[in-house]
Structures are given as structure tokens and as C-alpha cells.
């Protein structure tokens, strides 16, 4: 991770976070990632990434929430973009904080809107429904994908209560895995 | 609300949202507001705003989450900045979407860390604990403050389940009140 330092960029009037490595100016506040665990009869949908970071690894359909949409709309949009899936959201499964990269992730438990139907979108190599025991744990793209799958497994199809949070081993989302980066 | 249009600002390489009224360039994604309903024996803490928007109106301690912190840390920081309160967070009470202004609000149920102690911070005129029947409903700063108070009242001191969401009358956070603006 590059180090960001606080300074006033040329032509600007406010202090910003500026990357000490390349000069990139970070005008952003923490970002919201919205995603879904899509389940169908005990199987869960995963997408193999066609893009960096973590190209070739498996992830949930998820991405950055955009202006003008609700988190739920964002989660549905991402599922469509990445996996050509039409979702019904059942509720908030988990809220994760990845403070190292300024992300809050809102992950929804969801199901197909109608018969299961999916296909790889432009940023996706392959989409599959996995039985729990077939999930490629060694090829999961990001720790929070594993967290969300565990949270889904724990709650099953029962009523959703308080959303899961970060696991005890990474309460603030600061653990840095090699070659790991933003969703 | 000003209208934003998509265009590439001078000197920039990406399309951004640019205000059609004043030319302000919005580099931001949706922002995360973190806040707390602070309760003490059935009373709730409110802050009278010393700043615009909604100066003089009552609000919860809340504000924009910053880079490098978790939502919980942000909620505690805001409570300290605005009301000089040290908080213990009990869990996520509500998640609100104010899509009109690109906000997701994470509101925590919380209590004082130790004996109740509070004071107005620089952006606050006055801090008070209100009995439910004394809450100044006509002088509440933002609709989501009312929503969060209602959510708190509904759950009481019981276990927190699934967080509350937007009320049916404003499911996407698009209702525009006169003189109302971002938290
Ligand atoms: Zn850089
Ligand atoms: Zn403007």
C-alpha cells in the first residue's frame, strides 16, 4: 500500500491525502462496497475475476456504490454487471470495515429473481454455483469474501438478525495480504 | 439541490459530476455518515446545531466517516467532537440511504462509557438528554434523525436484530424538505 501524506495539492485550497509514491491525490472519503451472497438450494454464486487485482481468483458479485443509488440498488447493479444475475435481496448479511483501504462493505443475502440464470459479465471470467464443500477456498480473492461466505453459512436460510461484522482476527480490516487489494 | 452533469473537467482525465450552477466538481463517491443514538435510562442525547445547515435544530451526534477509521471509531469520534461524550457502542441500530445526496448513514445504539457526561463541542450550541415525551419534534434537523429515534424507541433496550432501514414513506431517501441538507 502506498503511503498517503496530508498536503495541499497545487491549485487546490484544501489539504488532501497525496500519495508519497506517485503524487496521486486522493479526493475520496471512505468508499462503500455493495455486494451479495447469492444462494440457490445451498449453493452460492462466485465470480472468477477477469481483471486485476486478484485476476483469476473467485469473488462475490460486489463493487463500489455509485451516486444516486441506494446500497440495495448498487448490489443489484453489480450482480447484473458482473454475473448477469437478477437479484432479490433478503436483507443485510454483513457490514465489514476494511479501514486499511477506506472501505465499508455492505453485503446482502440474496436469491435469484426467478429461475437461476447467470453469465460472465465483462469483468468476469466465469460464474459458477458452488456447493459449500466445493468452494475453492485457496483461490478466494479477498478475505472479506471468505468472511461473508462464513456469515452466510452461519445464518443459513433462517431470519437475518444483526449483521455480521469483521472477524476477531481482523477487527479493523487492517491485515495486509500479499497481492491483495480493493474489491 | 444543484443539478450535476457528467463531464470531463479541464485538466482531468475522467468524467466527473460537475455542478451546473457553480462549476463545483464532485470527485466524491457516496459518503458514509456515522452516528449514534446515545441513551441513558430512557433518555436520549441530542445536540443543537451551531452551524448550517439547520443551525439551531436538534440532531444526533453524527458526521462523515474519515479515511483510516472504522465506522464504529467514526461514530465515537463524532460523539466526542460534537458532544464531548465517550461512547460504548452496543450495535448497529439502523442503516439509512439518502440517495438524493449520496449518503449512507450507519447509526449505532450506544450508551455513556461511565457516568453521563457531555458538553457542547465547537459545532454544537447545546447538548441535552431528553425524555421521549420532551423531544422537540418540530425542531429536529433531518428526517433521518427522526427515523433513528423511532428505531431506537421500537427496539428499546432489547437485543438488536436486523438494523432498521428507511421508512416506507421515503424508501430511497429522496424526499426533499425545505431548508434541509446533508448531516
Ligand atoms: Zn501512488
Ligand atoms: Zn453548485
ipTM of this complex prediction, to 2 decimal places: 0.83
* Domains of chain B (ranges, CATH numbers): 29-155 (3.90.79.10)
pLDDT digits (tens, 9 = 90+) for A24-58: 666 568 999 999 999 999 999 999 999 988 999 99
Is pLDDT above 70 for A3? no
Is pLDDT above 50 for A183? no
pLDDT, position B175: 87
The backbone region for A3, taken as left when phi is positive above 0, alpha when psi lies in -120 to 50, beta otherwise, is beta
- Residues of B with Cβ-Cβ distance to A28 under 8 angstroms: 27-29, 67
Is A29–B29 a contact, with Cβ atoms under 8 angstroms apart? yes
Residue B26 binned pLDDT confidence (cut-offs 50, 70, 90): low
Q: Which three cell numbers stand for residue A170?
A: 481482523
pLDDT digits (tens, 9 = 90+) for B143-160: 999 999 999 999 999 999
Is B29–A71 a contact, with Cβ atoms under 8 angstroms apart? no
The backbone region for A156, taken as left when phi is positive above 0, alpha when psi lies in -120 to 50, beta otherwise, is left
Is pLDDT above 60 for A179? no
Nearest Cα of chain A lies from the Cα of B152 at a distance, in angstroms, of: 14
Q: Which residues have C-beta within 8 Å of that of residue A29, sequence separation ≥ 6?
A: A102, B28, B29, B31, B32, B64, B65, B66, B67
Is B163–A162 a contact, with Cβ atoms under 8 angstroms apart? yes
Q: Under a CB-based contact definition with an 8 Å cutoff, are residues A167 and A79 in contact?
A: no
pLDDT > 70 fraction of chain A, expressed in percent and rounded:
84
- Higher pLDDT, residue A12 or B80: B80
Name the closest ligand to CA B4: 2
Please tell me the distance from the alpha carbon of residue B169 to that of residue B153, in angstroms, as a whole number.
Answer: 19
Q: Under a CB-based contact definition with an 8 Å cutoff, are residues B79 and B87 in contact?
A: yes
What's the B51 CA to ligand 1 centre distance in angstroms?
36
- Kindly report the number of other CB atoms within 10 A of residue B137's CB atom: 9
Sign of CA dihedral B134, B137, A70, A55: negative
Q: Whose grid coordinates read 433478503?
A: A90
Q: Which residues have C-beta within 8 Å of that of residue A90, sequence separation ≥ 6?
A: A108, A109, A110, A111, A160
Residue A170 to residues A57, A181, B109: CA-CA distances in angstroms?
Answer: 21, 15, 23
Mean pLDDT of chain A: 89
The backbone region for A24, taken as left when phi is positive above 0, alpha when psi lies in -120 to 50, beta otherwise, is beta
The arithmetic mean of pLDDT across residues A94-121, rounded, is: 96
pLDDT digits (tens, 9 = 90+) for B35-81: 999 999 999 999 999 998 899 999 999 999 988 899 999 999 999 99
pLDDT digits (tens, 9 = 90+) for B124-135: 999 999 999 999
Name the closest ligand to CA B17: 2
Helix, strand, coil percentages for chain A (3-state, nearest 5):
20, 35, 45
Nearest Cα of chain B lies from the Cα of A118 at a distance, in angstroms, of: 27
Is A28–B30 a contact, with Cβ atoms under 8 angstroms apart? no
Interface test with A, best of B68, B164, B182 (most A CBs within 10 A): B68
Is A66–B162 a contact, with Cβ atoms under 8 angstroms apart? no
Residue B114 to residues B15, B40, B47, B61: CA-CA distances in angstroms?
Answer: 50, 11, 20, 18
| Residue B62, CA atoms < 13 Å, CB-side half-sphere | 30
Q: Whose grid coordinates read 486499511?
A: A100
Interface test with A, best of B6, B30, B74 (most A CBs within 10 A): B30
Is pLDDT above 90 for A7? no
Interface test with B, best of A5, A6, A34, A70 (most B CBs within 10 A): A70
Q: Whose grid coordinates read 439502523?
A: B94
Q: Whose grid coordinates read 463545483?
A: B24
Please tell me the distance from the alpha carbon of residue A82 to that of residue A58, in angstroms, as a whole number.
Answer: 12
Q: Whose grid coordinates read 449453493?
A: A43
What's the A23 CA to ligand 1 centre distance in angstroms?
6
Residue A182 binned pLDDT confidence (cut-offs 50, 70, 90): very low
Is B162–A92 a contact, with Cβ atoms under 8 angstroms apart? yes
Q: Which three cell numbers stand for residue B5?
A: 452533469
Nearest Cα of chain A lies from the Cα of B121 at a distance, in angstroms, of: 23
For every residue of A135-165, DSSP letters joined together read: --GGGBS-HHHHHHHHHHHHHTTS---SPB-
Amino acid at each position: 500500500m502506498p503511503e498517503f501524506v496530508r498536503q495541499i495539492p497545487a491549485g487546490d485550497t484544501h489539504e488532501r491525502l497525496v500519495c508519497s509514491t506517485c503524487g496521486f491525490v486522493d479526493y475520496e472519503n471512505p468508499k462503500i462496497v455493495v455486494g451479495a451472497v447469492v444462494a440457490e438450494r445451498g449453493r452460492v454464486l462466485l465470480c472468477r475475476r477477469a481483471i486485476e487485482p486478484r485476476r483469476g481468483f473467485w469473488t462475490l458479485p460486489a463493487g463500489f456504490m455509485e451516486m444516486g443509488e441506494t446500497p440495495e440498488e448498487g448490489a443489484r447493479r453489480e450482480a447484473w454487471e458482473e454475473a448477469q444475475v437478477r437479484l432479490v435481496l433478503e436483507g443485510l448479511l454483513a457490514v465489514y470495515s476494511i479501514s486499511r483501504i477506506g472501505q465499508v462493505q455492505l453485503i446482502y443475502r440474496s436469491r435469484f429473481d426467478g429461475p437461476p440464470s447467470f453469465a460472465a459479465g465483462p469483468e468476469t471470467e466465469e460464474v459458477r454455483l458452488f456447493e459449500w464443500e466445493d468452494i475453492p477456498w485457496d483461490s478466494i480473492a479477498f478475505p472479506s469474501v471468505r468472511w461473508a461466505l462464513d456469515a452466510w453459512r452461519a445464518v443459513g436460510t433462517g431470519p437475518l438478525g444483526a449483521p455480521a461484522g469483521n472477524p476477531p482476527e481482523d477487527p479493523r480490516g487492517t491485515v495486509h495480504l500479499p497481492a491483495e487489494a480493493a474489491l
